[in-house]
Amino acid sequence: MTSRLTLINRDYTRLWFGQAVSSVGDAVFSTTLVLWVATVLAKDESWAPMAVSGVLMASSVAVLVIGPLAGVFVDRWDKLATLLRTEVVRGALVVVLTAVSFLPTDALPAGVWLALVYGTVLLLHAAGQFFSPARFAILADLVKGDADRARAAGIGQATGETAWIIGPPLAAPLLFAAGIQWALLFNALSYAVSYVAIRSIEVPAPAATAESGKPAPDDSKAASRKPSLGREFADGVRFFARSRFLVVLLLLAVIGQFGLGALSTLNVFFTTDNLHADARLYGYIGMAMGVGGITGALSGGRVVQWLGARRSTWISLLVSGVLLIAYSRQTTFLGGIALLFVFTVPLTVLNTAMAPLLLAAAPPDFRGRVMAVFYPVTKLASMLAAVLSGWLAGSVLTDVAGSVGGVRFGPIDTIFAVSGVIVVLSGVFAWLALPGTEKTVKAAEKTPEEAAALTVDVSSPAGSRGHRPPDHDRGRPE
């Protein structure tokens, strides 16, 4: 019975359980704040949309400002202790906001309430910038082999998608029936549960000590020789820049964000204008994508095992791009929902496939800094893509309309179609530019200096031209 309740292994299961509970709490928390600001604090005010956007902006600022430096500290600190401390900090922040929220709304000016909300969201996401790379590093220690790492990534994505299917429906009743205090308290308790689950994890000893038998260096001497924060950050950026493998992965992620960013910004208008559906049905669009995301996440590990992480990456990009182009031509609501569901499956498989590639390319001493470069850059690309697509649809392409070969087109479906072409081209680029993962895995097992040298070797023309991948890249477990 126990084995059926275990995902990959015991310690990963406990890490996953903590993530699952915390993710549901975060979904309830985020939805509650947006609803409370929009319907209570700023009700009937002209500045309500701006107030709501401030919540989202606070989280983005934390990612872009704190994220790049957080990886340096994560690489310095004990990873498990970092996870535990961030859960304590996040739980305490929410408890403080919960205590203040027991005050009547008119007890404080709206500006003070907004400052409290924005400040809490900013600090929560700042702490999250330490949590995510620490979890990424521990995941590499708890789960071995491309297939299992892809499974872990898929389970994590499915958990996140499920949390956002469960969380928002819980948030509205909690807010309007019980009050904002109890919705916030729910999130605080989720951090407590996550803390208990993570505290029970046993992280294996570092590979250099466990495999070679060499004693670990004396901590006091290591601390005295520790370089400055700026130098460590620069070392991480240089390592990332010297690794063609990592640079290619980052380029793929950025191109993908620019190709897909239009969907999140303009899909509501596409639903009403092109699919001729009532705006009240827009929620089903999100549900279709959520179910597609869960399907892709749960099947992603098996796909990577069959095809290998590299093949899964470029094939997923090609398929996603073609499906996005097909979606741009839809004119019925049912057809649009069906295609969005199918489109989200390979898109999620893509994210699952990239996880073992990143883990393989990042040596243990650089994992925090690798994520501290990768995630903020892709987040910035997502923000720019949203702004660019909104600007194009609202100004430059407003009057675009016509027919070619009997096929009608307008501004939004044109943007979607071009986005699909960009994703297809990124798939071709991935096929040509991504080397096999065997050398990269070996690089992750070496010292940072040796790994950096090896990643430069991997970037040679002979290793980057879509050659036949080695057996390891076919998805066989290590």
- Return the pLDDT at 319: 94
Phi, psi of 108 (to 5 degrees): -130, 150
Which stretch of 64-68, 125-129, 415-419, 469-473 has the lowest confidence by average pLDDT?
A: 469-473
Cα–Cα distance for residue pair 356/140, rounded to 1 Å: 9
Query: Per-residue b/e over 226-257, b at no fewer than 16 CB within 10 Å?
Result: eeeeeebbebbeebbeebbbbbbbbebbbbbb
Residue closest to 137 by CA, chosen among 353, 352, 364, 360: 364
Cα–Cα distance for residue pair 342/291, rounded to 1 Å: 10
Report whether pLDDT(189) > 90: yes
Cα–Cα distance for residue pair 119/428, rounded to 1 Å: 43
The pLDDT tens digits for 64-97 are 888 878 888 888 889 899 999 999 999 999 999 9
Residue closest to 341 by CA, chosen among 161, 159, 147, 171: 161
CB 112: neighbour CB atoms within 10 A? 11
Residue % of the chain over a pLDDT of 90: 17
Q: How far is CA 392 from CA 94, 264, 384, 466, in A?
A: 39, 14, 12, 35
Residue % of the chain over a pLDDT of 70: 81
Report whether pLDDT(258) > 80: no
Report whether pLDDT(451) > 70: no
CA atoms lying within 13 Å on the CB side of residue 418: 15
Average pLDDT over residues 208-232: 52
Q: Which two tokens stand for residue 208?
A: 């250099």
Alpha helices in 362-465 (DSSP H): 367-391, 411-433, 438-444, 448-458
Question: Cβ-count burial of 474 within 10 angstroms (0-12 exposed, 13-18 middle, 19+ buried)?
Answer: middle
Strand partners, 403: 408
Which stretch of 116-125, 135-144, 217-226, 231-240 has the lowest confidence by average pLDDT?
A: 217-226
- Return the pLDDT at 323: 94
Average pLDDT over residues 222-226: 51
Torsional class of 44: left (φ above 0), alpha (ψ -120 to 50), beta (otherwise)? left
The pLDDT tens digits for 407-437 are 677 888 888 899 899 999 988 988 888 765 4
The pLDDT tens digits for 276-297 are 887 667 667 777 877 888 888 7
- Return the pLDDT at 113: 94
Report whether pLDDT(452) > 60: no
For CA atoms 66, 164, 137, 87, give the dihedral sign: positive
CB 224: neighbour CB atoms within 10 A? 8
Cβ-based neighbours of 405, under 8 Å, separated by 6 or more: none
All domains of the chain in start order, with CATH:
7-201 (1.20.1250.20), 232-474 (1.20.1250.20)
- Return the pLDDT at 448: 42
Q: How far is CA 400 from CA 223, 303, 416, 418, in A?
A: 62, 40, 13, 14
Report whether pLDDT(6) > 90: no
| Residue located via tokens 């990009």 | 317
Is 125:62 a contact under the CB 8 Å cutoff?
yes
pLDDT band at 109 (very low <50, low <70, confident <90, very high): very high
- Return the pLDDT at 191: 94
Is 308:474 a contact under the CB 8 Å cutoff?
yes
pLDDT band at 403 (very low <50, low <70, confident <90, very high): low
CA atoms lying within 13 Å on the CB side of residue 147: 13
Q: Which two tokens stand for residue 320?
A: 């996603």
Helices (H) and strands (E) in the chain, counts: 17, 2
Q: Which helix (H) or strand (E) holds 468?
A: none
Average pLDDT over residues 97-120: 92
DSSP secondary structure, 231-255, as one string: HHHHHHHHHHHH-HHHHHHHHHHHH
Cα–Cα distance for residue pair 81/11, rounded to 1 Å: 15
Residue closest to 191 by CA, chosen among 249, 240, 124: 124
The pLDDT tens digits for 327-385 are 998 989 999 999 989 998 888 888 777 777 777 777 777 877 787 788 788 878 877 77
Question: To 10 degrees, what angle do helices 367-391 and 110-142 make?
Answer: 130
- Return the pLDDT at 439: 47
For CA atoms 455, 459, 462, 468, give the dihedral sign: positive
Q: Which two tokens stand for residue 53?
A: 């956007």
Average pLDDT over residues 200-215: 58
Is 280:407 a contact under the CB 8 Å cutoff?
no
Cα–Cα distance for residue pair 92/123, rounded to 1 Å: 11
- Return the pLDDT at 114: 92
